[in-house]
Structure 1
């Protein structure tokens, strides 16, 4: 290299300039590209890019919030029991970003802040999942950052504040994400001023009462679509729009994703939207009144996801659907699509998720070539009237993790080829006509967590290896023809949480290892015999996990094992219809969460009250001790401390709870609700998915004597009371008139005397009454609710008279007492005004009980 002369000052100056440029290049400002291609972030502390006004505005914005990790568990995604496929809080990093902003550092280096490399102004702010808590106000310093192009404030808690209209002043915005951040009220019309918008996400949770937190008017929706001509992504999940979809939406030629789940949309979905060449995602589930059909598709179509679940789309799937070469997700659950299912669906080689459930694809419409969809991860075909044999080609879908074929008419043996699906986590084959035995090839399903084979014709011995599948947590084999005893090869591998073997033909003794890790054990309706092993609940003492135990309708003998006291989380205990011979297990009162106790149809004997042993059942809501040999009387204060039955029910609560309810949505996405049989309204009936508001006491068919305790009138939420076929004496307690929720009352076949209390007329919800075969006398109160009951409710009481009986009273009209203004109301708070109101409320209660009894699901709800 030629030596540079330092004698020439111009040469020296040039040399120094070159050196300075070199130093700046090497040690000056280092600019790194952010995730946004057109902006960048500064990380050097040598040169400050962030202007003071930008730094001040950000610091003020930080000061407007507390940092509290949000808890969204009380809020809901659209669709009941619908799995949200778009967000999993465990996947996204959540931490308080602004908490680590330091004043002494350049604001362009702060977490979540992106600046323009030339001006230093803040152009992007990503504070998603940043624990922000507090209202976002219209005077927020956020709106001083006029250069902002991207804002992401999703998954924070803005305390139900309204979305400030000042967002409309940030004219440069191209991306705005305020989704699932506890905003409420109407979305401001000023949002539609943002004509440069590429991506708009305002999705919302549902509130406690399943109403939308955010609303968007029909006009504002139309203006938004009309003005944002550059829009590529529009996400408004669970925003209450309550209108049709503007046809002008089809003019957004740059649109690539449209997500409008649970927006109360109605009218017809524009077919032209399916033809937008750049559109990749159409996601509009849970718009129950949204109609539409699928058009003919072209090969140039770019659709990757089509989700129409729980809409009113109808018609046939066009054969041209096979041209959607990029389609990876097709979900049309519970629509009105009809057969035939086009064979071209098997050309969709990119499909990973296919849900055709709850439609009308009847007949032999499951092509054997379905096994060509090699990339399928989820295949849901339940409740769609499919029939025939399941093709063995399904065993080719080796990436499959979730296969649900339940509630169809499939027949024949379960294909052994399903054992090839070694990634399978969920297998639902319930409610079909499968026969034969469980294929031994299932041993290979080492990832399986849920196996549901309920309500088929499967037979033989339950294979012992099934209990040792390493990942299996939920095993449901109820309502089949399985026989023989239960055996297991390796007890240490038993890690089940839910086991349903009810309604089979199993016999022998139940294994002592069975309670090792179970939360729900249902063995109802088999031929198990011998004593109930106390070791079952000794295992449970390690975890205290068991919440439901149903051993009813078997041949168990001996006593109730006191080791049950270890199951401190037990909510439901059903030992009915066995041969158990024991005294009343007073120690069960120590179980703090016990809600259901059924000892019906056994050989229990002795009293159910003892002055030193009896405390109370504070959480009990169903007690069935009927058809035993219990004796003795009950003191007048017997029911005084039964807390759960004393509380008035909240009929305004739309979030119904069920006995034995089990939900594990995060890990296994499994919901269980307990069903049980009991005597109600004079006959034994099945309560499907039994609601906890159904509160009952059945002490019938025993040998109780003495008077009926007056404290029973404190059980204000009691729905059913059966004390029939005992030796109760004395009068009917007038306190029964306080049981304002009572629908069924049976006091028949006792030795009750005296008059029928006038207070029974206050029971305006009463649908079943039986006072027959006692020693009652006097007139039946007339002109009241009691007029609705027939002769059979009062027969066998020679001293009674009334219009319902052959023996008429001298004065057949009992005047209804009306209070004068100067008279006080009765102590129990009931007036005839309340009675009239009660009749008006009767329809509401009828709907609730109809839900209990006429559930659409089968006995076992699975």
Structure 2
């Protein structure tokens, strides 16, 4: 008999819960807003807290305009009768969302964070009756799968954040497309969301967009004319990103999308901050008409093979470091680009410059180039060229005439053989040729502008007397670790030479002692050990 009574009691309670969840709450039993708030089984303090805690803000008429319930497990459904609410926060509570949410006709801000599995897979359609809502955040709601179609009625919504919801998989395209006043959209930690709304182009007032930790495969954003900041990160299967025609986009942060293969940026005339992904599978980077950006730096994008830049009106500095599979870099119509650095890219085969009139510094160190890129000869403003640690064995015969402003040439650690360059580099002031296989510097006297000459670690056996023709200009010369057996004594009369190192050669002890004494007479820094 007792067991039958217990079972009937459970059935009775269940029926009461079903009825109460489906029936409209009777709000007439409460004298005022504060009366409804006080029905909660926990203390609600009166304050406007600077940090979230259970509190209510109300006026002398007992109208409650702000309510926060934080870490209190079982709020009463009476809160749906607080009809003057403008701001509601439910943080770590066990309150389901009833159709009575329609009572909040003055609500402008709603935050629901951590529901402990109480909220169902779907929000009630009455959610769409919150006509005054401008700020909506749904976070850490375990079972929620989508937004109701009726969200289309929230026409005053300006900020929407959907975050940390493991089962969320659908944003109704047509409905959300009607939220034309949206200026902030955050889609964060939604591992089952595979598509962004196809009606995104309707968000012409959108200023901030974040897409993080989703299941999106391809992302194309176009003509969001007010978008200012964009973050796309930790999307584990994202392969293609195309961002075009964003006239106000100032900042892009694209990182930790480990399957990203193709990134295309086009017509982003206000972009000034760009974080390019590193340590990803990105293969192709195509950027055109990013007319506000001044610096681009890319490091450790191990799979990147192709970089194309076109129409960068303010780009001044471009840097690539340790791109082990890079094969092609192309610059076109970059009128103020002055510094290009591409280091440790051993697969580089093609570097192209078209309408790039202002480059003064070019560094292609560690790229293992076997031939001199002909496109470099179009850089008429080039003043410094560094190509250390490549595989060059020859230089173009027209180097000096094609590059009349070249003053510094660094070719350390290449495969240059035989004699020093002919025709002579008549404009070059600093020439660094250490770690090559040169055997002769005959004709050095015709390199008439030389001020610094470094020839360490070569196979040069003699210094020709014509070195004296550089007496008015040459200030420093090093020729250590060569097979020299003699140094012209007349070099002591090179009036501009103040540093001369010739250590570790084949010069006899007697001659070393003699020339050491000889070169000590002028004030010169010498080493002949």
TM-score range, shorter chain: 0.3 to 0.5
* Structure number with bigger Rg: 2
TM-score by length of structure 2 reads 0.47
Return the TM-score normalized by structure 1.
0.30
Greater RCO between the two (CA within 8 Å, min separation 6)? 2
Q: Which has the higher strand share?
A: 2
